[in-house]
Structure 1
Amino acid sequence: MISWLRVVLCMLVLVLCTLVLVPLQLFFLWCDTPQRRKVPRLWHRLACRMIGIRVHVHGMLDRQRPLLLISNHASWKDILVLGSIADVAFVAKSDVKSWPVFGLLARLQKTIFIARDQKRSTGNQVNEIGSRLAGGEVVVLFPEGTTSDGNRLLEIKTSLFGAAAAAVPLSPTGVVHVQPVAIAYTGIHGMPMGRYHRPVAAWPGDIPLAPHLLGILHEGAVDVDVIFGEQITYTDQSNRKLVSREIEKSLRSMLSLKLRGR
């Protein structure tokens, strides 16, 4: 009973804070002020606290711009985790736009929506990411294309790395910095998280969202480690596939080490 009361209280607080912050965000978006990036970060921090996600950061977000973050993807919670650490813009599949609640929040955060099955529009989508990068925004890309079980890195898709190439001519320095970021769900209730509890953290996508969200709220204590790797400088001479392989190698190594408790 106490556990469910906590769930109700957390949801109530989160809903009330959302109702307060949404009008503010709409105003900042209308005025196009820098605060439009600060409000989502505040909301993500609040959401992590209410849901019970404890974020542990290793390394630092690279300070150079333009900056493209490449991350593994285990759950919708990855958005909350990375959004609580830095002022970032996400790249998401176009289906997310129509999701209840989450779709609205994504639009308020100026998420870049892409339709992976519409190859004719791929160039325009890549150019939008490139222009946002060149404008100084930190863009997060999940190149696996879907969520995993949290125990491994899926094969990454190289096509959207073209966003880095598209941003190079627009960059004031003529380069784009690409930084790998590994997200590892490592603990639950203060204890190491093994494979048995991994479904609490990961959301492969075939599990209904509402029961999964309630399960997380019911647990109320999940530890996640975020590891920032070394950035790779992308120039007009860089090979997209070679860069993607280097990023994949770095992500796989960081994720594996952290899941093994190192």
Structure 2
Amino acid sequence: MIGGLRTALALIGFAVLALVLVPLQYLFLKTGSTLQNRLPRLFHSILARLLGFRVHIHGEMVKDRPLMLVSNHVSWSDITVLSTAGDVSFIAKTEVRDWPFFGSLAVLQRSVFVERERRGKTAEQASEIAKRLAVGDAMVLFAEGTTSDGNRVLPFKTSLFGAASAAIRETGSKSGPESGVETVTVQPVAIAYTRLHGMPMGRYLRPVASWPGDVELLPHLKIILREGALDVDIRFGEPVTITADTDRKTLARTMENRVRAMLQTSLIGREMGSE
């Protein structure tokens, strides 16, 4: 009964939020207003509350630009959670564009959609990401290429890490506002879903929050709405400054190790601290 009421109230809140802010974002995109980068953070901050997420931020997003954020990926809700922490855009799979409601949000947040399985398009897709980095957009890369169970970090895929170095090469031969990019900052980020109704989730309850790829979106959204009280850690780690010559595979391994260590800090620290 309580879960049904919570779900109904959240859905009403979604409707009001979408009716008010989505048309504004569409207008900002059409007019080129700088508010197009800021409004999504407000939108997702309210959305996170409606979903019942309590976000705990450790560290901070660096102010250096160009900036690529490299994160683990647990659920569709990572987009909302990370968006509460700063003005960001996402590198997302093309399938995301077709998700109900959240696909439209991804488009309005100026996501770059990529086809990871088409290796022949890697250079073209990296170039598009590089252009966004070069003009100062903070881009989030979910480097695992898929969602995990939230208890671990899957091996990072290296192909799109080349976008960071490409941002330097793309602007090196240009003049104007996109010229002069000599380095790119790459910062690791770990997302950990830690508590449910104030109690440690543990590895067996974490599927409440995690969203493996074979689970339908809407049924999982209903579970989140019914529960209505999830604690999430976002940890910003030590950034790396790269140049055009930085090896993308080495960079990927460095980011993977740092994200894995931060994830374990959140999971072990939260769960052991409450025993």
TM-score bracket for the superposition, by shorter chain length: over 0.9
Q: One-letter code of the match for 1:226?
A: I
1:107 alignment counterpart:
107
Aligned-pair CA distance for 1:237: 2.6
Q: One-letter code of the match for 2:18?
A: T
Q: Return the alpha-carbon distance in structure 2 between the equivalents of residues 125 and 168 of structure 1.
A: 15
1:256 matched to 2:261: no
> Match of 1:55, SS?
strand
Q: Contact 2:167 / 2:181 at 8 angstroms: preserved in 1?
A: no
Unaligned segments of structure 1, at least 5 residues? none
2:175 alignment counterpart:
none
Aligned-pair CA distance for 1:50: 0.4
Question: Matched residue pairs, number?
Answer: 262
Q: One-letter code of the match for 1:92?
A: A
Q: One-letter code of the match for 1:31?
A: T
1:221 alignment counterpart:
229
Q: Contact 2:89 / 2:139 at 8 angstroms: preserved in 1?
A: yes
Q: Which sits farther off after the overlay, 220-229 or 230-239?
A: 230-239
1:199 alignment counterpart:
207
Residues 26-56 of structure 1 show CA distances to partners (whole Å, capped at 9, x for unaligned) of: 1100011110111111111111000100000
Q: Return the alpha-carbon distance in structure 2 between the equivalents of residues 201 and 212 of structure 1.
A: 8
The equivalent position to 1:241 in structure 2, one of 249, 264, 274, is: 249
Residues 107-135 of structure 1 show CA distances to partners (whole Å, capped at 9, x for unaligned) of: 11111000122222221110010010010
Residues 218-257 of structure 1 show CA distances to partners (whole Å, capped at 9, x for unaligned) of: 1111000000000001102311111111111111111112
1:39 alignment counterpart:
39
Unaligned segments of structure 2, at least 5 residues? 172-178, 271-275
> Match of 2:203, SS?
coil
Q: One-letter code of the match for 1:21?
A: L
Residues 167-206 of structure 1 show CA distances to partners (whole Å, capped at 9, x for unaligned) of: 1232634000000000011111111111121011100121
The alignment-based identity, stated in percent, is 53
Aligned-pair CA distance for 1:14: 1.2
1:210 matched to 2:218: yes
Aligned alpha-carbon RMSD (Å): 1.1
Aligned-pair CA distance for 1:2: 2.6
1:95 alignment counterpart:
95
Report 1:1-262 matches (<5 A): 1-169=1-169, 170=171, 172-261=180-269
Q: Return the alpha-carbon distance in structure 1 between the equivalents of residues 5 and 187 of structure 2.
A: 41
Q: Contact 1:14 / 1:46 at 8 angstroms: preserved in 2?
A: no
Q: One-letter code of the match for 2:14?
A: L
Q: Return the alpha-carbon distance in structure 2 between the equivalents of residues 45 and 109 of structure 1.
A: 14
Residues 49-73 of structure 1 show CA distances to partners (whole Å, capped at 9, x for unaligned) of: 0010000000010111100000000
Q: Contact 2:75 / 2:210 at 8 angstroms: preserved in 1?
A: yes
Q: Return the alpha-carbon distance in structure 2 between the equivalents of residues 209 and 217 of structure 1.
A: 12
Q: One-letter code of the match for 1:149?
A: D
Q: Which sits farther off after the overlay, 31-40 or 175-184?
A: 31-40
Residues 77-123 of structure 1 show CA distances to partners (whole Å, capped at 9, x for unaligned) of: 10000011111010001111122222211111111000122222221
Q: One-letter code of the match for 1:113?
A: F
Q: Return the alpha-carbon distance in structure 1 between the equivalents of residues 262 and 106 of structure 2.
A: 28
Q: Return the alpha-carbon distance in structure 2 between the equivalents of residues 173 and 109 of structure 1.
A: 24
Q: One-letter code of the match for 2:260?
A: R
User: Normalising to structure 1: TM-score of the pair?
Assistant: 0.97
Q: One-letter code of the match for 2:209?
A: A
